[in-house]
Structure formats: C-alpha cells, structure tokens
Amino acid sequence: MPPLSQVIDSSQERRRAAAAREVHSERLAAQLGLFLGAAFTVCFVTGLISHLHQHPLGWFPLPSSPAGLYRVTQGLHVTTGLAAIPLLLAKLYVVSPQLPRWPPVDDVVDAMARLALLPLVGGSILLLFTGAANIASWYPWDFFFPVGHWWAAWMVMGALMVHVSLQFPAVKRLFTRSDQRHSGDVSDDGRGLSRRGLLGFVVGGAGILTLLTAGQTFPPLRAFTALAPRRPDIGPQGFPVNRTAEAAGTEDLATGDGYALVVVHRDGTEQTLDLAAIRALEQVSRELPIACVEGWSASVKWRGVPLSAVLAAGGVGTEEMEGRTVKVGSAQQRGLYGSSLVEPDLAGRDDCLLALEANGEVLHPDHGAPVRLIAPNRPGVLQTKWVTRLEVL
Ligand code: HEM
Ligand SMILES: Nc1nc2c(c(=O)[nH]1)N[C@H]1C(S)=C(S)[C@@H](COP(=O)(O)O)O[C@H]1N2
Ligand SMILES: [Mo]
C-alpha cells in the first residue's frame, strides 16, 4: 500500500495528463473559434475593400492614398485566409465528436444552432478552398471565382453571427476564472491528438503557411515564398507578369509602329495621339506598387505622363473632365481585363500615370508596352496594360 501522498500525487498526475488530452473540450473549441472569428472578420473586411475597388459605390469613394494601402489590405486578406486553414481543420477535429448525435436536435434553439452549421462549415470550406486554389491559379470549378467567393463570404458571415451569438456562453466561460471553469464534453479516451499536439499543428501550420507566402507582399520574407504563386522580384524588369503580351495577343503593339491612342470626348468625338506625341509631353517619375488581387505585390519605379495631361493633349480640358470617370481601354481583345475605370478624384492626380518606362527601362511588352496605366491604391486588375483608348464617360 503506497503512502497517501503518493496516491494523491499519481491521481493528480493522471488528472493533469487527462487535462492535457482535453482535445475535444468546449474550452479549446471556443479558443479556436475566437481566432477563426477574428481571421474571418479580417478577411471579410479586407475582401469588402477589394470588392469596392472593383465595384465602386458613388457615395462611398475609396481614398487614393496612401498609394500602398491596397497592397497591405489584400496581402493581409490572403495571408490571414491561408493561416485560417489549419485553424478550421483543428476546430472541426475538436468538435467532431459532437456532430453526430441522436436525437439530432434538443429544442428549437438547438435546431437553429445546428442548422447554422451547414452554411458555416460548408461555406468556410468553400471560401478557403476557392481562395487557396485561386492564388495557385487552379480553377477546378465552373463559376467565376470572385462571384462564388463573394456569396460564400456573405453566407459564412451570416451563419457566423448566428453561431457566435448561440455559443456566446462558451466564449464567456473562457474569460471566467479557471477554478469556475466548465470543461464541457471531455472525451478522454487517450487516443488521437493530444491538446499540445493539436495546438502545435495549428500554430505550426499557420506559422509555416504565413512564412511561405507572406514574402509575396512583405519583402523581408522574400526568400521564403515557396508556396506563393509569384515572387515579387522575378519577372522582366524585376517584377512579375500575370498575363504576357503573347497571351493577350498584343505583341505587335509593343514596337510602337502605327500605335495610336484614341481619346473619346463626352460628345463622342475622337482625337488621336501617336506615341511621339505622348513622349513629347512632360514626364514624371513615381514609385508605385503593382498589388495583384491574388496577394502578391511589387514596388516599381515608373516614368510616364499623368493621365490628365494626356487627356489635355487629346483636347479634353479641365472643365470637360470635372467630376467625370475615365474608361481606360486596352488593345487586348481576349479575356476579362480589357478595360478599367478611373474615378474622377483619381483621374485628376499627378501620380495617376500612363507609364512609358519601368525601373529605368522602356516598358517591357509583358508589362503593357508601349503605354500602360499605373495609379495609386488600386488592385492590379485595374492597372490596364497596352492602353489604346481613353474615354471620358
Ligand atoms: C485561403 C483563404 C483565402 C484566400 C486565399 C482568398 C483570396 C481572395 C482573392 C484572391 C480575392 C480577390 C478576388 C478578385 O477580385 O479577383 C478575394 C476576395 C474576397 N474574399 Fe477572399 N480569400 C480567402 C478567404 C476569405 C475569407 C475567409 C473571407 C470572408 C470571410 C473572404 C472574403 C472575400 C471577399 C468578400 C472578397 C471580395 C470578392 C469580390 O470582390 O467580389 N475570403 N479573396
Ligand atoms: N490589358 C490587360 N491589363 C492588365 C491585365 C490583363 O490581363 N490585361 N492583368 C492585370 C493584372 S491581374 C495585374 S496584377 C497587372 C499586372 O501587371 P504586370 O504584369 O505588369 O505586373 O496588370 C493588370 N493589367
Ligand atoms: Mo492581378
């Protein structure tokens, strides 16, 4: 018969060991839920910003400065979204014993709670999967990515509000003193992942994913971009290309021979500028990022002519420009990115450029030669390449 103190010690040890295995606990589910909720909120807000850039609301204009703001918000979107993948997997593992249950619901509130899990879990998996596949340029689906991703985001955020309000007591218990702690459904069969193993998976997984992708937008981590689809310093003239001139069918344009920029006035009349006329205008140098919606970004030194000065050379005076949006059109016939809109405030800025040079060289064909749009705080998709048409709307 061992001494009493030893019996107590070993039972304490057992309890400690059991607590360490408390993987399927309410507490861990709530902790992971908090982090997931924070990550999804960051993704939703930054995603909305991205959406507003591409579908502007007249009464809610986005600022044109700081010039690198979109680079930060979209970099955050993709980085946070990827880090949420191990979080979601861990959360599903922790709550998995509670999913199959008989009877399936206890009461009306419980029925709502369990019903909300369908769009919540299904939508979250859809969001993270489509997001990750998109930045890897893999499209194993038929719908247009931003549309599917957009509606999944609203569905998930709605279900998340229902879920959080119903699970609020569990979150509250997280912040009460530990001796009053409610440990919830502990399945202590000693099998499966330990609590420490699970936390290691989450922190390690999120950390590794962040380390291997954040360099696509955060220069100090550039050397580690193994998982990111683009390294921001690789490509002609030192930065990446999404669509080449060959893919866009615009190789012939780059020579500049026969190039013509058509300026369309509000009354429909047209005026044409050749390349020499544009080159003869006063040029300015500006450092502005290309910040792709897919999360990579690169800072580039551009040289070119402010859009407003080119329009002026095409006969569009300040009065005609007043409060007007400009449609910037490309020679590219294929694909979705043949034109973009420049809002009135942006169109008047001297760092909203039609660029002729990048990083000290004449623009490379893949970067939009002979003339491409580059403007501050704007998603890459709106930085139209191979510009041949400016239309005052
Ligand atoms: C692996 C995780 C994720 C990745 C890699 C990712 C990636 C992206 C990308 C590349 C876009 C730009 C689409 C475009 O304009 O072409 C985008 C937009 C967006 N994302 Fe995500 N995302 C992720 C997770 C999430 C999550 C968790 C949410 C919300 C809870 C979310 C909400 C949105 C919204 C609302 C947009 C705007 C869609 C639009 O412009 O119509 N994303 N995301
Ligand atoms: N005409 C045209 N312009 C375009 C595109 C395109 O496919 N066609 N791609 C856009 C996208 S998605 C990005 S990220 C930037 C990339 O510019 P870069 O190739 O010079 O880096 O160009 C934008 N301008
Ligand atoms: Mo892009």
| Nearest Cα residue to 131 out of 116, 117, 118, 148 | 148
The DSSP letter of residue 379 is B
Out of 17-31, 103-117, 210-224, 226-240, give the one with best mean pLDDT: 103-117
pLDDT confidence of 3, banded at 50, 70, 90? low
* Ligand 2 atom closest to 247 (CA): 7
- pLDDT at residue 137, rounded to an integer: 77
The DSSP letter of residue 342 is E
128 close to ligand 1 (CB < 6 Angstrom) = yes
Q: Return the structure tokens found at 39.
A: 């990550």
Summarised one tens digit per residue, pLDDT across range 170-186 is 888 888 855 444 444 44
Summarised one tens digit per residue, pLDDT across range 275-304 is 999 999 999 999 999 999 998 999 999 999
Mean local confidence (pLDDT), 241-270: 92
pLDDT confidence of 256, banded at 50, 70, 90? confident
- pLDDT at residue 307, rounded to an integer: 98
- The ligand that comes nearest to the alpha carbon of residue 46 is 1
* This prediction's pTM: 0.89
Summarised one tens digit per residue, pLDDT across range 213-225 is 888 888 888 878 7
* Structure-model confidence comparison of residues 371 and 7, the more confident one: 371
Q: Is 341 helix (H, G, I), strand (E, B) or coil?
A: strand
pLDDT confidence of 197, banded at 50, 70, 90? confident
pLDDT confidence of 187, banded at 50, 70, 90? very low
239 close to ligand 2 (CB < 6 Angstrom) = yes
Give the residue, by CA position, lying nearest to ligand 1 atom 39: 51
What domains, with CATH codes, occur in the chain? Answer: 26-181+194-224 (no CATH), 237-392 (3.90.420.10)
Give the residue, by CA position, lying nearest to ligand 1 atom 24: 81
Q: Is 142 helix (H, G, I), strand (E, B) or coil?
A: coil
Residue 203 confidence (pLDDT) above 60: yes
- pLDDT at residue 101, rounded to an integer: 85
Residues surrounding ion ligand 3 at CB below 5 Å: 242, 292, 380-381
- The ligand that comes nearest to the alpha carbon of residue 128 is 1
- pLDDT at residue 19, rounded to an integer: 55
Cβ–Cβ < 8 Å for 94, 198: yes
Cβ–Cβ < 8 Å for 93, 194: no
* Ligand 1 atom closest to 55 (CA): 40
The rounded Å distance from CA 132 to ligand 1 centre is 9
| Nearest Cα residue to 86 out of 39, 138, 18 | 39
- pLDDT at residue 188, rounded to an integer: 47
Output the DSSP codes for 76-125: HHHHHHHHHHHHHHHHHHHHGGGSS-SSS-SSHHHHHHHHHHHHHHHHHH
Mean local confidence (pLDDT), 353-382: 97
Q: Is 301 helix (H, G, I), strand (E, B) or coil?
A: strand
Q: Kindly compute the dihedral angle of the four CA atoms of residues 194, 132, 215, 44, in this order, to the nearest 10 degrees.
A: -90
